[in-house]
Structure 1
Amino acid sequence: MLIFVALLYFCVACSLIWLACFPSGRILINQLMFGLRSRFGRMAGRRVVSVGQLLPSRRGLGELAQSLSRQLRRHWIVLAIVIPAVAIPSLLALALRTPDMLPDYEPTPALPDAQIAALLQGEQLVPPSDPPPLAFSTQEVVQVRPMLVNASRNWGLMHPDFAQRLLLAFKIMKEKHGYDMALLEGYRSPARQDLLASMGGAVTNARAFQSWHQYGLAADCAFWRDGKLVISEKDPWAMRGYQLYGEVAEQLGLTWGGRWKMMDLGHTELRLRGVMRR
Protein backbone atom coordinates (compact mmCIF):
# COMPACT_ATOMS: atom_id res chain seq x y z
CA MET A 1 0.00 0.00 0.00
CA LEU A 2 2.81 2.41 0.86
CA ILE A 3 4.52 1.68 -2.47
CA PHE A 4 1.26 2.37 -4.33
CA VAL A 5 0.82 5.71 -2.52
CA ALA A 6 4.41 6.73 -3.30
CA LEU A 7 3.96 5.79 -6.97
CA LEU A 8 0.66 7.68 -7.15
CA TYR A 9 2.30 10.74 -5.59
CA PHE A 10 5.11 10.55 -8.14
CA CYS A 11 2.73 10.35 -11.12
CA VAL A 12 0.45 13.13 -9.90
CA ALA A 13 3.37 15.40 -9.02
CA CYS A 14 4.99 14.88 -12.43
CA SER A 15 1.70 15.63 -14.19
CA LEU A 16 1.13 18.82 -12.21
CA ILE A 17 4.69 20.02 -12.80
CA TRP A 18 4.35 19.30 -16.52
CA LEU A 19 1.13 21.32 -16.73
CA ALA A 20 2.57 24.15 -14.63
CA CYS A 21 5.89 24.46 -16.48
CA PHE A 22 4.93 23.76 -20.09
CA PRO A 23 2.20 25.86 -21.77
CA SER A 24 2.11 23.37 -24.63
CA GLY A 25 1.01 20.72 -22.14
CA ARG A 26 -1.95 22.81 -21.09
CA ILE A 27 -2.82 23.46 -24.74
CA LEU A 28 -2.67 19.74 -25.48
CA ILE A 29 -4.98 18.92 -22.56
CA ASN A 30 -7.41 21.61 -23.70
CA GLN A 31 -7.42 20.16 -27.21
CA LEU A 32 -8.11 16.68 -25.88
CA MET A 33 -10.94 17.94 -23.67
CA PHE A 34 -12.42 19.92 -26.57
CA GLY A 35 -12.22 16.86 -28.80
CA LEU A 36 -14.00 14.71 -26.23
CA ARG A 37 -16.72 17.31 -25.75
CA SER A 38 -17.22 17.48 -29.50
CA ARG A 39 -17.51 13.71 -29.77
CA PHE A 40 -20.01 13.59 -26.92
CA GLY A 41 -22.00 16.34 -28.60
CA ARG A 42 -22.14 14.47 -31.89
CA MET A 43 -23.10 11.23 -30.17
CA ALA A 44 -25.74 12.81 -27.95
CA GLY A 45 -28.57 12.04 -30.37
CA ARG A 46 -27.63 8.39 -30.78
CA ARG A 47 -28.90 5.60 -28.54
CA VAL A 48 -25.83 3.37 -28.67
CA VAL A 49 -22.33 4.73 -28.31
CA SER A 50 -19.39 2.38 -28.69
CA VAL A 51 -16.23 2.74 -26.65
CA GLY A 52 -14.21 3.13 -29.82
CA GLN A 53 -16.20 6.17 -30.83
CA LEU A 54 -15.30 7.95 -27.60
CA LEU A 55 -11.58 7.25 -27.82
CA PRO A 56 -9.16 9.26 -29.99
CA SER A 57 -8.46 7.84 -33.43
CA ARG A 58 -5.21 6.09 -34.31
CA ARG A 59 -4.08 9.18 -36.16
CA GLY A 60 -4.88 11.33 -33.12
CA LEU A 61 -2.87 9.05 -30.87
CA GLY A 62 0.08 9.23 -33.24
CA GLU A 63 -0.02 13.02 -33.24
CA LEU A 64 -0.22 13.02 -29.45
CA ALA A 65 2.84 10.77 -29.18
CA GLN A 66 4.81 12.96 -31.57
CA SER A 67 3.86 16.08 -29.63
CA LEU A 68 4.94 14.53 -26.33
CA SER A 69 8.23 13.43 -27.86
CA ARG A 70 8.93 16.96 -29.09
CA GLN A 71 8.14 18.40 -25.66
CA LEU A 72 10.49 15.97 -23.93
CA ARG A 73 13.37 16.75 -26.29
CA ARG A 74 12.79 20.48 -25.99
CA HIS A 75 12.67 20.58 -22.18
CA TRP A 76 15.02 17.76 -21.24
CA ILE A 77 17.13 19.98 -18.94
CA VAL A 78 14.11 21.02 -16.88
CA LEU A 79 12.93 17.42 -16.69
CA ALA A 80 16.38 16.28 -15.56
CA ILE A 81 16.03 18.63 -12.59
CA VAL A 82 12.34 18.18 -11.80
CA ILE A 83 12.11 14.37 -11.96
CA PRO A 84 14.82 13.75 -9.30
CA ALA A 85 13.25 16.47 -7.14
CA VAL A 86 9.96 14.56 -7.26
CA ALA A 87 11.39 11.04 -7.10
CA ILE A 88 13.91 11.50 -4.28
CA PRO A 89 11.30 12.27 -1.53
CA SER A 90 9.31 9.17 -2.52
CA LEU A 91 12.40 6.96 -2.53
CA LEU A 92 13.56 8.36 0.81
CA ALA A 93 10.12 7.73 2.33
CA LEU A 94 10.31 4.10 1.22
CA ALA A 95 13.91 3.62 2.35
CA LEU A 96 13.49 5.26 5.77
CA ARG A 97 10.05 3.93 6.62
CA THR A 98 9.56 2.23 9.97
CA PRO A 99 6.61 0.35 11.45
CA ASP A 100 5.81 3.33 13.66
CA MET A 101 5.07 5.39 10.58
CA LEU A 102 2.11 3.18 9.74
CA PRO A 103 -0.84 4.09 12.01
CA ASP A 104 -2.43 0.65 12.35
CA TYR A 105 0.65 -1.46 11.89
CA GLU A 106 1.66 -3.66 14.79
CA PRO A 107 4.76 -5.75 14.05
CA THR A 108 4.75 -9.37 15.04
CA PRO A 109 7.18 -9.94 17.92
CA ALA A 110 10.03 -12.34 17.35
CA LEU A 111 9.28 -15.88 18.39
CA PRO A 112 11.36 -17.15 21.33
CA ASP A 113 13.70 -20.06 20.80
CA ALA A 114 12.76 -23.58 21.90
CA GLN A 115 14.42 -23.30 25.33
CA ILE A 116 12.72 -19.99 26.12
CA ALA A 117 9.38 -21.31 24.87
CA ALA A 118 9.70 -24.31 27.17
CA LEU A 119 10.39 -22.03 30.13
CA LEU A 120 7.34 -19.92 29.32
CA GLN A 121 5.20 -23.06 29.36
CA GLY A 122 6.63 -24.15 32.69
CA GLU A 123 6.09 -22.91 36.22
CA GLN A 124 4.30 -19.65 36.94
CA LEU A 125 6.90 -17.27 38.33
CA VAL A 126 6.13 -15.17 41.39
CA PRO A 127 6.91 -11.42 41.38
CA PRO A 128 9.80 -10.37 43.64
CA SER A 129 9.39 -8.00 46.55
CA ASP A 130 9.39 -4.32 45.63
CA PRO A 131 12.27 -2.12 46.78
CA PRO A 132 11.36 0.15 49.71
CA PRO A 133 9.43 3.33 48.73
CA LEU A 134 12.34 5.55 49.77
CA ALA A 135 14.47 3.97 47.04
CA PHE A 136 12.32 5.74 44.42
CA SER A 137 12.64 9.20 45.96
CA THR A 138 16.41 9.61 46.20
CA GLN A 139 18.00 12.56 44.43
CA GLU A 140 19.79 10.33 41.93
CA VAL A 141 16.55 8.58 40.94
CA VAL A 142 14.44 11.75 40.75
CA GLN A 143 16.95 13.40 38.41
CA VAL A 144 16.75 10.53 35.96
CA ARG A 145 13.11 9.44 36.38
CA PRO A 146 10.85 12.03 38.05
CA MET A 147 7.52 11.09 39.64
CA LEU A 148 8.42 7.44 40.19
CA VAL A 149 7.14 7.50 43.77
CA ASN A 150 3.52 7.46 42.56
CA ALA A 151 4.08 4.96 39.76
CA SER A 152 2.25 1.62 39.85
CA ARG A 153 4.34 -1.47 40.53
CA ASN A 154 1.36 -3.77 40.91
CA TRP A 155 2.11 -6.91 38.91
CA GLY A 156 -1.56 -7.88 39.10
CA LEU A 157 -2.51 -4.96 36.84
CA MET A 158 -0.23 -6.19 34.07
CA HIS A 159 -1.23 -8.61 31.31
CA PRO A 160 -0.51 -12.16 32.56
CA ASP A 161 1.46 -13.18 29.46
CA PHE A 162 3.59 -10.06 29.57
CA ALA A 163 4.12 -10.35 33.33
CA GLN A 164 5.43 -13.92 32.99
CA ARG A 165 7.79 -12.97 30.17
CA LEU A 166 9.10 -10.07 32.23
CA LEU A 167 9.57 -12.24 35.32
CA LEU A 168 11.44 -14.78 33.22
CA ALA A 169 13.68 -11.97 31.95
CA PHE A 170 14.36 -11.02 35.58
CA LYS A 171 15.23 -14.64 36.38
CA ILE A 172 17.61 -15.00 33.43
CA MET A 173 19.29 -11.68 34.22
CA LYS A 174 19.91 -12.85 37.79
CA GLU A 175 20.96 -16.43 37.17
CA LYS A 176 22.92 -15.96 33.94
CA HIS A 177 24.30 -12.43 34.19
CA GLY A 178 24.23 -11.61 37.91
CA TYR A 179 21.92 -8.57 37.68
CA ASP A 180 19.08 -8.00 40.14
CA MET A 181 16.21 -6.30 38.32
CA ALA A 182 13.63 -3.92 39.78
CA LEU A 183 10.27 -2.87 38.36
CA LEU A 184 9.98 0.92 38.17
CA GLU A 185 6.53 1.13 36.60
CA GLY A 186 4.08 -1.28 35.00
CA TYR A 187 0.48 -0.27 34.38
CA ARG A 188 0.06 3.48 33.87
CA SER A 189 -3.30 5.23 34.02
CA PRO A 190 -4.41 7.47 31.12
CA ALA A 191 -4.33 10.51 33.41
CA ARG A 192 -0.75 9.81 34.46
CA GLN A 193 0.24 9.23 30.82
CA ASP A 194 -1.12 12.65 29.83
CA LEU A 195 0.62 14.23 32.82
CA LEU A 196 3.98 12.76 31.80
CA ALA A 197 3.42 13.77 28.16
CA SER A 198 2.80 17.36 29.28
CA MET A 199 6.33 17.42 30.70
CA GLY A 200 7.79 17.32 27.19
CA GLY A 201 9.35 14.94 24.70
CA ALA A 202 12.29 14.26 26.98
CA VAL A 203 9.89 12.27 29.18
CA THR A 204 7.46 10.80 26.63
CA ASN A 205 5.73 11.74 23.39
CA ALA A 206 2.84 9.31 23.90
CA ARG A 207 -0.45 10.56 25.28
CA ALA A 208 -3.23 8.52 26.88
CA PHE A 209 -3.88 5.18 25.16
CA GLN A 210 -0.93 5.74 22.82
CA SER A 211 1.31 3.78 25.18
CA TRP A 212 1.27 0.06 25.91
CA HIS A 213 1.44 0.94 29.61
CA GLN A 214 -2.32 1.67 29.54
CA TYR A 215 -2.97 -1.92 28.48
CA GLY A 216 -0.71 -3.54 31.06
CA LEU A 217 1.65 -4.58 28.28
CA ALA A 218 4.68 -2.41 29.05
CA ALA A 219 7.09 -1.92 31.92
CA ASP A 220 10.05 0.25 32.84
CA CYS A 221 12.80 -1.54 34.74
CA ALA A 222 16.22 -0.84 36.21
CA PHE A 223 18.82 -2.54 38.42
CA TRP A 224 19.17 -3.06 42.16
CA ARG A 225 22.71 -2.90 43.53
CA ASP A 226 23.95 -2.48 47.10
CA GLY A 227 20.52 -1.43 48.35
CA LYS A 228 20.04 1.28 45.70
CA LEU A 229 18.32 1.65 42.35
CA VAL A 230 20.72 2.11 39.45
CA ILE A 231 18.93 3.68 36.48
CA SER A 232 21.38 5.93 34.63
CA GLU A 233 23.17 4.36 31.69
CA LYS A 234 26.14 6.61 32.47
CA ASP A 235 27.16 3.87 34.88
CA PRO A 236 29.11 1.38 32.68
CA TRP A 237 27.84 -1.52 34.78
CA ALA A 238 24.24 -0.42 34.20
CA MET A 239 24.83 0.20 30.48
CA ARG A 240 26.14 -3.33 30.08
CA GLY A 241 23.13 -4.58 32.01
CA TYR A 242 20.72 -2.77 29.70
CA GLN A 243 22.37 -4.34 26.67
CA LEU A 244 22.02 -7.80 28.19
CA TYR A 245 18.47 -7.04 29.28
CA GLY A 246 17.55 -6.01 25.73
CA GLU A 247 18.94 -9.26 24.34
CA VAL A 248 17.03 -11.35 26.87
CA ALA A 249 13.80 -9.39 26.35
CA GLU A 250 13.93 -9.83 22.58
CA GLN A 251 14.57 -13.56 22.99
CA LEU A 252 11.33 -13.64 24.98
CA GLY A 253 9.40 -11.96 22.16
CA LEU A 254 9.31 -8.51 23.76
CA THR A 255 10.00 -5.17 22.11
CA TRP A 256 12.95 -3.36 23.70
CA GLY A 257 13.03 0.43 23.90
CA GLY A 258 16.78 0.45 23.36
CA ARG A 259 16.16 -0.01 19.63
CA TRP A 260 14.26 3.25 19.28
CA LYS A 261 15.58 6.58 18.02
CA MET A 262 14.75 8.09 21.42
CA MET A 263 16.16 5.18 23.38
CA ASP A 264 14.37 3.97 26.50
CA LEU A 265 16.80 1.32 27.70
CA GLY A 266 14.75 0.01 30.61
CA HIS A 267 11.48 -0.18 28.67
CA THR A 268 9.98 -3.38 27.27
CA GLU A 269 6.54 -4.07 25.86
CA LEU A 270 4.51 -6.90 24.37
CA ARG A 271 2.70 -5.76 21.24
CA LEU A 272 -0.42 -7.84 20.84
CA ARG A 273 -2.43 -7.48 17.65
CA GLY A 274 -5.80 -5.80 17.91
CA VAL A 275 -5.14 -4.20 21.30
CA MET A 276 -3.97 -0.72 20.37
CA ARG A 277 -5.45 1.25 17.48
CA ARG A 278 -3.21 4.24 16.81
Structure 2
Amino acid sequence: MQADWAIWGGMLGALLLSGVLVAAWLFPGWWQGAWRGRAVPVPGLSRLAVRRLGRRGAWWWGGLLLLCLPAAVVMAWSRWHPQRLDGFDDATVPANAQVAQLLLGEHLVPPPPVPPDVFLAADIVAEQPFLATADRRWDQMDPAFVQAVLQVFRAMKATHGYDMALLEGWRSPQRQALLAARGPAVTQAGPWQSYHQWGLAADCAFLRDGRLVISERDPWARQGYALFGQVAEQMGLTWGGRWQMADLGHIEWRKPGMQAAMRARAGVGAGAGAAP
Protein backbone atom coordinates (compact mmCIF):
# COMPACT_ATOMS: atom_id res chain seq x y z
CA MET A 1 0.00 0.00 0.00
CA GLN A 2 2.83 2.38 0.84
CA ALA A 3 4.38 1.59 -2.52
CA ASP A 4 1.08 2.45 -4.26
CA TRP A 5 0.90 5.81 -2.50
CA ALA A 6 4.53 6.49 -3.38
CA ILE A 7 3.82 5.78 -7.04
CA TRP A 8 0.75 8.01 -7.10
CA GLY A 9 2.55 10.74 -5.23
CA GLY A 10 5.45 10.57 -7.64
CA MET A 11 3.08 10.81 -10.61
CA LEU A 12 1.29 13.84 -9.19
CA GLY A 13 4.57 15.49 -8.26
CA ALA A 14 6.04 14.89 -11.69
CA LEU A 15 2.94 16.28 -13.38
CA LEU A 16 2.95 19.38 -11.20
CA LEU A 17 6.67 19.92 -11.67
CA SER A 18 6.39 19.53 -15.45
CA GLY A 19 3.64 22.16 -15.49
CA VAL A 20 5.80 24.59 -13.52
CA LEU A 21 8.78 23.99 -15.78
CA VAL A 22 6.68 24.54 -18.90
CA ALA A 23 5.32 27.79 -17.45
CA ALA A 24 8.84 28.92 -16.53
CA TRP A 25 10.08 28.11 -20.03
CA LEU A 26 7.22 29.89 -21.78
CA PHE A 27 7.26 32.92 -19.47
CA PRO A 28 10.83 33.33 -18.18
CA GLY A 29 10.90 35.49 -15.08
CA TRP A 30 7.13 35.99 -14.96
CA TRP A 31 6.32 32.97 -12.80
CA GLN A 32 8.25 34.48 -9.91
CA GLY A 33 6.00 37.48 -10.11
CA ALA A 34 2.98 35.26 -10.30
CA TRP A 35 4.08 33.54 -7.10
CA ARG A 36 4.37 36.93 -5.35
CA GLY A 37 1.20 38.26 -6.87
CA ARG A 38 2.85 41.09 -8.80
CA ALA A 39 3.75 41.69 -12.40
CA VAL A 40 7.19 41.00 -13.84
CA PRO A 41 8.07 42.25 -17.33
CA VAL A 42 7.91 39.58 -20.00
CA PRO A 43 9.47 40.17 -23.44
CA GLY A 44 6.85 40.46 -26.15
CA LEU A 45 3.95 41.36 -23.81
CA SER A 46 2.43 44.80 -23.30
CA ARG A 47 2.48 46.36 -19.86
CA LEU A 48 -1.28 45.90 -19.58
CA ALA A 49 -0.95 42.17 -20.37
CA VAL A 50 1.88 41.81 -17.85
CA ARG A 51 -0.21 43.56 -15.19
CA ARG A 52 -3.14 41.26 -15.83
CA LEU A 53 -0.95 38.19 -15.71
CA GLY A 54 0.52 39.30 -12.40
CA ARG A 55 -2.91 39.92 -10.90
CA ARG A 56 -4.26 36.64 -12.08
CA GLY A 57 -1.31 34.49 -11.22
CA ALA A 58 -3.52 32.40 -9.00
CA TRP A 59 -5.42 31.25 -12.05
CA TRP A 60 -2.25 29.80 -13.50
CA TRP A 61 -1.54 27.83 -10.37
CA GLY A 62 -5.16 26.75 -10.31
CA GLY A 63 -4.76 25.48 -13.86
CA LEU A 64 -1.74 23.43 -12.89
CA LEU A 65 -3.66 21.89 -10.03
CA LEU A 66 -6.53 21.19 -12.40
CA LEU A 67 -4.17 19.13 -14.54
CA CYS A 68 -3.54 16.92 -11.53
CA LEU A 69 -7.25 16.47 -10.81
CA PRO A 70 -7.89 13.45 -13.12
CA ALA A 71 -5.02 11.50 -11.60
CA ALA A 72 -6.20 12.39 -8.10
CA VAL A 73 -9.77 11.27 -8.90
CA VAL A 74 -8.56 7.93 -10.30
CA MET A 75 -6.34 7.41 -7.26
CA ALA A 76 -9.18 8.16 -4.84
CA TRP A 77 -11.59 5.93 -6.73
CA SER A 78 -9.10 3.07 -6.76
CA ARG A 79 -8.57 3.39 -3.00
CA TRP A 80 -12.27 3.56 -2.14
CA HIS A 81 -13.35 0.83 -4.58
CA PRO A 82 -10.42 -1.59 -4.86
CA GLN A 83 -10.50 -3.57 -8.10
CA ARG A 84 -8.17 -4.56 -10.91
CA LEU A 85 -8.55 -2.84 -14.24
CA ASP A 86 -9.07 -5.40 -17.03
CA GLY A 87 -6.54 -3.72 -19.26
CA PHE A 88 -3.79 -4.30 -16.71
CA ASP A 89 -4.81 -7.72 -15.46
CA ASP A 90 -1.83 -10.02 -15.85
CA ALA A 91 -3.94 -13.13 -15.30
CA THR A 92 -4.26 -15.15 -18.52
CA VAL A 93 -7.80 -16.43 -18.97
CA PRO A 94 -8.26 -18.14 -22.35
CA ALA A 95 -11.46 -17.24 -24.17
CA ASN A 96 -12.03 -20.81 -25.32
CA ALA A 97 -10.48 -24.24 -25.49
CA GLN A 98 -8.78 -23.54 -28.84
CA VAL A 99 -6.91 -20.54 -27.44
CA ALA A 100 -5.99 -22.57 -24.36
CA GLN A 101 -4.49 -25.25 -26.60
CA LEU A 102 -2.46 -22.65 -28.48
CA LEU A 103 -1.13 -21.26 -25.24
CA LEU A 104 -0.04 -24.73 -24.18
CA GLY A 105 1.76 -25.23 -27.48
CA GLU A 106 -0.29 -26.70 -30.30
CA HIS A 107 1.27 -29.48 -32.32
CA LEU A 108 0.08 -29.63 -35.93
CA VAL A 109 0.25 -32.81 -37.97
CA PRO A 110 1.48 -32.72 -41.59
CA PRO A 111 -1.18 -33.32 -44.24
CA PRO A 112 -1.33 -36.59 -46.18
CA PRO A 113 1.30 -36.84 -48.94
CA VAL A 114 0.32 -35.58 -52.36
CA PRO A 115 0.13 -38.49 -54.85
CA PRO A 116 3.43 -38.80 -56.76
CA ASP A 117 1.74 -38.67 -60.16
CA VAL A 118 0.63 -35.10 -59.42
CA PHE A 119 4.26 -34.04 -59.77
CA LEU A 120 4.58 -35.89 -63.10
CA ALA A 121 2.02 -33.81 -64.97
CA ALA A 122 3.35 -32.42 -68.24
CA ASP A 123 3.03 -28.76 -67.24
CA ILE A 124 4.76 -29.42 -63.92
CA VAL A 125 7.66 -31.27 -65.52
CA ALA A 126 8.06 -28.48 -68.07
CA GLU A 127 8.09 -25.89 -65.30
CA GLN A 128 10.37 -27.75 -62.86
CA PRO A 129 11.88 -30.93 -64.37
CA PHE A 130 13.69 -31.94 -61.16
CA LEU A 131 10.64 -31.64 -58.94
CA ALA A 132 9.62 -35.30 -59.15
CA THR A 133 12.79 -36.37 -57.31
CA ALA A 134 12.56 -33.72 -54.58
CA ASP A 135 12.41 -34.74 -50.92
CA ARG A 136 9.02 -34.01 -49.37
CA ARG A 137 9.44 -35.79 -46.05
CA TRP A 138 8.32 -33.54 -43.23
CA ASP A 139 10.34 -35.45 -40.64
CA GLN A 140 13.57 -34.50 -42.39
CA MET A 141 13.06 -30.82 -41.56
CA ASP A 142 13.56 -28.89 -38.34
CA PRO A 143 10.54 -29.63 -36.08
CA ALA A 144 9.99 -26.00 -35.12
CA PHE A 145 10.17 -24.94 -38.76
CA VAL A 146 7.69 -27.67 -39.68
CA GLN A 147 5.20 -26.27 -37.19
CA ALA A 148 5.61 -22.78 -38.62
CA VAL A 149 5.03 -24.05 -42.17
CA LEU A 150 1.95 -25.98 -41.08
CA GLN A 151 0.62 -22.84 -39.41
CA VAL A 152 1.06 -21.02 -42.72
CA PHE A 153 -0.73 -23.83 -44.57
CA ARG A 154 -3.64 -23.73 -42.14
CA ALA A 155 -3.97 -19.96 -42.32
CA MET A 156 -3.89 -20.02 -46.12
CA LYS A 157 -6.74 -22.52 -46.18
CA ALA A 158 -8.86 -21.04 -43.40
CA THR A 159 -8.44 -17.38 -44.31
CA HIS A 160 -7.84 -17.33 -48.05
CA GLY A 161 -9.16 -20.68 -49.30
CA TYR A 162 -5.88 -21.96 -50.76
CA ASP A 163 -4.85 -25.58 -50.35
CA MET A 164 -1.07 -25.78 -50.02
CA ALA A 165 1.37 -28.49 -51.04
CA LEU A 166 5.00 -29.05 -50.08
CA LEU A 167 7.17 -29.25 -53.19
CA GLU A 168 10.52 -29.72 -51.50
CA GLY A 169 11.82 -29.56 -47.96
CA TRP A 170 15.21 -30.98 -47.02
CA ARG A 171 17.69 -31.02 -49.89
CA SER A 172 20.96 -32.92 -49.95
CA PRO A 173 24.19 -31.04 -50.77
CA GLN A 174 24.59 -33.22 -53.86
CA ARG A 175 21.19 -32.17 -55.15
CA GLN A 176 22.02 -28.56 -54.32
CA ALA A 177 25.18 -28.83 -56.43
CA LEU A 178 23.16 -30.34 -59.29
CA LEU A 179 20.64 -27.49 -59.21
CA ALA A 180 23.39 -24.86 -58.91
CA ALA A 181 25.02 -26.29 -62.03
CA ARG A 182 21.92 -25.39 -64.02
CA GLY A 183 22.73 -21.73 -63.52
CA PRO A 184 21.61 -18.74 -61.42
CA ALA A 185 18.12 -18.88 -62.89
CA VAL A 186 17.57 -22.02 -60.79
CA THR A 187 19.62 -21.23 -57.68
CA GLN A 188 22.61 -19.13 -56.74
CA ALA A 189 23.41 -21.18 -53.64
CA GLY A 190 26.00 -23.93 -53.65
CA PRO A 191 26.12 -26.96 -51.33
CA TRP A 192 25.55 -26.06 -47.68
CA GLN A 193 24.76 -22.48 -48.67
CA SER A 194 21.02 -23.07 -48.78
CA TYR A 195 18.70 -23.41 -45.80
CA HIS A 196 17.30 -26.51 -47.52
CA GLN A 197 20.40 -28.45 -46.42
CA TRP A 198 19.58 -27.63 -42.81
CA GLY A 199 15.90 -28.49 -42.99
CA LEU A 200 14.98 -24.84 -42.56
CA ALA A 201 13.52 -24.09 -46.00
CA ALA A 202 10.48 -25.23 -47.95
CA ASP A 203 9.27 -24.72 -51.51
CA CYS A 204 5.50 -24.64 -51.65
CA ALA A 205 2.69 -24.30 -54.20
CA PHE A 206 -1.07 -24.68 -54.48
CA LEU A 207 -3.53 -27.45 -55.16
CA ARG A 208 -6.60 -26.62 -57.23
CA ASP A 209 -9.13 -29.33 -58.01
CA GLY A 210 -6.53 -31.98 -57.24
CA ARG A 211 -3.96 -30.51 -59.60
CA LEU A 212 -0.73 -28.80 -58.65
CA VAL A 213 -0.45 -25.14 -59.68
CA ILE A 214 3.07 -23.72 -59.53
CA SER A 215 3.18 -21.33 -62.48
CA GLU A 216 3.66 -17.72 -61.41
CA ARG A 217 1.93 -16.68 -64.63
CA ASP A 218 -1.39 -18.05 -63.36
CA PRO A 219 -3.32 -15.05 -61.91
CA TRP A 220 -4.95 -17.19 -59.22
CA ALA A 221 -1.60 -18.64 -58.18
CA ARG A 222 0.14 -15.27 -58.31
CA GLN A 223 -2.42 -13.81 -55.95
CA GLY A 224 -1.97 -16.84 -53.74
CA TYR A 225 1.79 -16.36 -53.63
CA ALA A 226 1.35 -12.77 -52.46
CA LEU A 227 -0.95 -13.93 -49.66
CA PHE A 228 1.41 -16.79 -48.91
CA GLY A 229 4.28 -14.34 -48.44
CA GLN A 230 2.24 -12.14 -46.11
CA VAL A 231 1.20 -15.05 -43.91
CA ALA A 232 4.71 -16.51 -43.82
CA GLU A 233 6.25 -13.20 -42.80
CA GLN A 234 3.65 -12.86 -40.06
CA MET A 235 4.95 -16.19 -38.74
CA GLY A 236 8.49 -14.76 -38.64
CA LEU A 237 9.69 -16.57 -41.76
CA THR A 238 11.63 -15.16 -44.70
CA TRP A 239 9.79 -15.16 -48.03
CA GLY A 240 11.67 -15.59 -51.28
CA GLY A 241 9.30 -13.22 -53.05
CA ARG A 242 11.25 -10.30 -51.54
CA TRP A 243 14.48 -11.28 -53.24
CA GLN A 244 15.92 -9.64 -56.35
CA MET A 245 15.46 -12.97 -58.12
CA ALA A 246 12.04 -13.67 -56.62
CA ASP A 247 11.22 -17.23 -55.56
CA LEU A 248 7.55 -16.84 -54.70
CA GLY A 249 6.99 -20.33 -53.33
CA HIS A 250 10.08 -20.38 -51.11
CA ILE A 251 10.07 -19.72 -47.36
CA GLU A 252 12.85 -20.24 -44.85
CA TRP A 253 13.58 -19.78 -41.19
CA ARG A 254 16.80 -17.90 -40.58
CA LYS A 255 17.35 -19.56 -37.27
CA PRO A 256 19.74 -17.67 -34.98
CA GLY A 257 23.30 -18.87 -35.31
CA MET A 258 22.75 -20.60 -38.65
CA GLN A 259 24.61 -18.06 -40.77
CA ALA A 260 27.89 -18.80 -38.99
CA ALA A 261 27.25 -22.55 -39.19
CA MET A 262 26.51 -22.31 -42.91
CA ARG A 263 29.69 -20.34 -43.62
CA ALA A 264 31.77 -22.79 -41.63
CA ARG A 265 30.22 -25.88 -43.26
CA ALA A 266 30.47 -24.40 -46.76
CA GLY A 267 34.19 -23.83 -46.17
CA VAL A 268 34.67 -27.43 -45.08
CA GLY A 269 32.76 -28.65 -48.13
CA ALA A 270 34.88 -26.56 -50.46
CA GLY A 271 38.06 -28.05 -49.04
CA ALA A 272 37.09 -31.67 -48.44
CA GLY A 273 34.03 -32.31 -50.54
CA ALA A 274 30.40 -31.93 -49.52
CA ALA A 275 29.14 -34.49 -47.05
CA PRO A 276 25.51 -35.66 -46.97
After TM superposition, the score normalised by the length of structure 2 is 0.57
| Gaps in structure 2 of 5+ consecutive residues | 1-98, 264-276
Contact 1:210–1:276 under 8 Å retained in 2: no
CA distance in 2, matches of 1:205, 1:238: 24
Superposed CA RMSD in Å reads 1.8
- Number of the residue aligned with 2:214: 231
Compared with structure 1, are the counterparts of its residues 120 and 196 closer, same or farther at alpha carbon in structure 2 (3 Å cutoff)? Answer: farther
Compared with structure 1, are the counterparts of its residues 228 and 204 closer, same or farther at alpha carbon in structure 2 (3 Å cutoff)? Answer: same
Give the structure with higher Rg (CA).
2
Is 1:246 equivalent to 2:197 in the alignment? no
Contact 1:120–1:164 under 8 Å retained in 2: no
1:83-140 alpha-carbon deviations (Å, 9 max, x no partner): xxxxxxxxxxxxxxxxxxxxxxxxxxxxxxxxx9x94863200000121111111111
CA distance in 2, matches of 1:140, 1:119: 40
Is 1:142 equivalent to 2:148 in the alignment? no
How many residues are aligned here?
A: 163
1:5-39 alpha-carbon deviations (Å, 9 max, x no partner): xxxxxxxxxxxxxxxxxxxxxxxxxxxxxxxxxxx
Deviation at 1:276, TM superposition (A): 3.2
Q: Which amino acid aligns with 2:115?
A: P
Greater RCO between the two (CA within 8 Å, min separation 6)?
1
SS in 2 for 1:149: helix
| Gaps in structure 1 of 5+ consecutive residues | 1-115
- Number of the residue aligned with 1:270: 253
- Number of the residue aligned with 2:173: 190
- Number of the residue aligned with 2:161: 178
CA distance in 2, matches of 1:146, 1:190: 18
Contact 1:120–1:165 under 8 Å retained in 2: no
CA distance in 1, matches of 2:223, 2:165: 16
- Number of the residue aligned with 2:60: none
- Number of the residue aligned with 2:197: 214
CA distance in 2, matches of 1:262, 1:120: 38
Compared with structure 1, are the counterparts of its residues 239 and 120 closer, same or farther at alpha carbon in structure 2 (3 Å cutoff)? Answer: farther
After TM superposition, the score normalised by the length of structure 1 is 0.56
Match runs of 1:28-67 below 5 Å: none
Contact 1:212–1:269 under 8 Å retained in 2: yes
1:171-225 alpha-carbon deviations (Å, 9 max, x no partner): 0000110000000000000000000000111110101000000000000000001
Which consecutive segments of 4 or more residues in structure 1 shift more than 6 A?
none
